[in-house]
Each structure stands twice: as C-alpha cells, then as structure tokens.
Amino acid sequence: MQDYFSLFQLPEKFALQTASLESAYRGVQAQVHPDRFAHRSEAERRVAMQWATHANEAYRALRNPVERARYLLKRRGVEIDAERNTAMSHAFLMQQMAWREAVEESAGKADLLSRLEQDLQRDEGVMLDDLQHALDDSNDLAGSAELVRRLMFMEKLRSEIDDALALLDN
C-alpha cells in the first residue's frame, strides 16, 4: 500500500489545504470503494475493501493536524512515544497543572468550561503555527516532537472538557 501523501497525490508537508485533501480522498474512494465492485467476486471485493480501508485510515490521519505531524515525524524516523517520553519543559508542566486546576474548578459550570475550551483552542492554534514552521521550514525534529506531545495533552484535556459539557447537556 502507498504512503498517505502519495495515495492522495499531495506534497509531503505539514501545511495542507483541507479542501484539496477532501477532494483527493473522494477521488480515491470513487475508484476503490467496495460499492463499485459489489457484483464482483469475493477476492476482488476483498481487495477493494483493503484499498478503501487504507484510504479511510490515510484520510483520518492527515485530516487531524496532530496525527498528521506524528505521521510526518514517523516518516522521518521519529516515533512519538507519548506514554514514556514525558520530557516536556518545566514551563509547560506548570501550565498543564494550571489548566487541570481550572478544569476542576469549572466542573459543573457550562459557561466556564466553554470559555476554557476556547482558550485552549486559541493556544493550540499558536502551537500548530509553530509546528508548521518546525516541520516544513526548519526540519526541527526534536522541537516538532515536543510540540506534538504538548498538543496531544491539549487534545486530551479538551476532550475531557467536551465530555463534561456533554454530561451537563443531558
């Protein structure tokens, strides 16, 4: 199977237009989707399913910026081992603790949680810009890896806030 970027005929870069990814994905699925081969033999349908599965996986990975960065780093020989490697800067660790406290203090208050979520999103935006520079311009692998780990923490925190908001919704 082809790597994700070649599959969609996109340049192997972090910077990516969502619209071109979407249209490339649809173009590939239009060629490989099992629905195009439903009347064919089982062996042929299986191959179509494998290609469609690959296209879905590639699309999922490239659509999410953090996943995309992890994939690019992996292609450049850097595996993000988020669980073991927690070597993050002291400042970021302090920031993490502050956010965690803020989430705990906002528990049960939808307006506070929403505001916190917006703050996180804004900070993530800045970090994503840095990540694009580190990956596409300076090829700073160690710096990119650190940014990816931070962003993974942010995503996790944001999904916790989402869950808390969902509970309040019901």
Partner 1 sequence: MALLQLSEPGESTAPHQHRLAVGIDLGTTNSLVATVRHSIPECLPDEAGRRLLPSVVRYLKGGLTVVGVDALAAESTDPRNTIASVKRLMGRGPADTDPGMRARYDLTDAAGMVRINTVAGPRSPVEISSEILKVLRARAEETLGGDLVGAVITVPAYFDDAQRQATKDAARLAGLNVLRLLNEPTAAAIAYGLDEAAEGIYAVFDLGGGTFDFSVLRLSRGVFEVMATSGDSALGGDDFDEVLAQWLHKQAAGADLDCGANRALLSEARRVKEALTTEASVIARVPQLGGGVRTVDVTVETFQSLTRTLVERCLQPVKKALRDAALKVADIQAVVLVGGATRMPHVRAAVKAYFGREPFIDIDPDKVVAIGAAVQANVLAGNRRADEDWLLLDVIPLSLGLETMGGLVEKIVPRNATIPVAKAQEFTTFKDGQTAMSIHVVQGERELVSDCRSLARFELRDIPPMVAGAARIRVTFQIDADGLLSVSAREQGTGVESTVTVKPSYGLSDDEVANMLKAGFEHATDDMKARALREQKVDAERLIEATRQALAEDADLLSLAEAQRIDAAIAALATAREGTEHLVIKASIEALSAATADFAARRMDKAIRTALTGSRVDSL
Residue in 10, 16, 37, 123 binding partner 1, rule: CB under 8 A: 37
Q: Where are the beta strands (DSSP E) in 102-170?
A: none
Under rule CB under 8 A, residue 111 binds partner 1: no
Under rule CB under 8 A, residue 169 binds partner 1: yes
Residue in 3, 13, 15, 27 binding partner 1, rule: CB under 8 A: 27
Under rule CB under 8 A, residue 43 binds partner 1: yes
Under rule CB under 8 A, residue 17 binds partner 1: no
Side-chain-side CA neighbours of residue 134 (13 Å): 19
User: 3-state DSSP call for residue 138?
Assistant: coil
Q: Where are the beta strands (DSSP E) in the chain?
A: none
Shortest CB 157 distance to partner 1, Å: 17
Under rule CB under 8 A, residue 32 binds partner 1: yes
Question: How far is residue 92 from each of residues 75, 123, 125, 138, 170, measured CA to CA in Å?
Answer: 27, 12, 16, 22, 34
